[in-house]
Structure 1
Amino acid sequence: MDDRQFRNAMGKFATGVTVVATEVDSKVHGMTANAFMSVSLNPKLVVVSIAEKAQMLEKIYQSGKFSVNILAANQQELSMIFAGQVKNHQDVEFDQLGGVPVLPGAVVQITCEVTASHVEGDHTLFIGKVTNIQLEDSEPLIYYSGNYRLLAEG
């Protein structure tokens, strides 16, 4: 199989859209990611997968903490900004939750302390111990087969 076939196959798995954020030297850094999942209930752990070439990789190593912001249906532009798809944009405002930057209006804001990192292939998996969670009652942004989607009533 070639790289394109693998990417196309993985794109058939519908995911939520997240922005992973951290702060280093009073500057907030963020990136769009859909490689996120829960790992454990006790203790409460999540994992994010960051490409070795991503600038965010070193930032998470430096800060030792991060947030995962599950985007709401009306936050597609934020996803595009943090994926580098929107070049001319205004600065994005962040709130703080337990000293970690989070995006206001996200369906879920999760803050974490890094407990482990594992290099696998061309990515690093950061295991985060959940330190705080904030929930909103809104619809999530969905990504499927290379396109943004919305949940449909079933």
Structure 2
Amino acid sequence: MDDRLFRNAMGSFATGVTVITTEVSGEVHGMTANAFMSISLNPKLIAVSIGERARMLQHIKEAKQFAVNILTSNQVNESKQFSGQLNLEEEITFSTFKGLPVLPNSLAVVTCKLHSEYVAGDHTIFIGQVTGVQLEQHDPLLYSQGKYRELKELQE
């Protein structure tokens, strides 16, 4: 099977966009990711998948905690900044929630302590036990077929 065909097929699945954040030795680290999902309600668990070449992999292993910032439709620049597509002139200011750096004005923030990790192919799946949740009322930022997208109401 062709790698490009597989990537294009997986990229056709519309997802939300998140920035995973953590702090190690007083330094904040962040990475854009769309490989995020809810795992369990009791106990409350989520999962993020991080590539083996990503610097964030080691940061999460070391910090043993992380936050998932679910982005709004107004946070395209934040997504691009943490995916390396953009180098903003102004420094991003973080808030703190449950002892972790988080992006202000996110649609939702989920803080976690590291529950477990599993190597799967060229990624590590981190399972996080949820320690806190913040929720705002905004429209989500979506990503599909290599482009940022927004929700549109369907006519019934």
Contact 1:100 1:111 in 2 (8 A): yes
CA distance in 1, matches of 2:106, 2:116: 26
Q: Deviations over 1:12-36 (max 9, x none)?
A: 1000000000000111000000000
CA distance in 1, matches of 2:113, 2:152: 34
**Counterpart in the other structure of 1:84:** 84
SS at match of 2:74: helix
**Counterpart in the other structure of 2:53:** 53
C-alpha deviation, 1:88, in angstroms: 4.5
Contact 1:38 1:46 in 2 (8 A): yes
Q: TM-score, normalised by structure 2?
A: 0.97
Q: Note the residue ranges of structure 2 that are not aligned, 5 or more in a row.
A: none
Contact 1:81 1:89 in 2 (8 A): no
Q: Deviations over 1:85-130 (max 9, x none)?
A: 0134321111111101111010000000001000110000000000
Q: Output the amino acid matched with 2:100.
A: V
Q: How many residues are treated as equivalent by the alignment? A: 154
Greater than 4 Å deviation, 4+ residue runs? none
**Counterpart in the other structure of 1:100:** 100
Report percent identity of matched pairs.
55
CA distance in 2, matches of 1:140, 1:133: 16
Q: Output the amino acid matched with 2:131.
A: T
CA RMSD of aligned residues (A): 0.7
**Counterpart in the other structure of 2:69:** 69
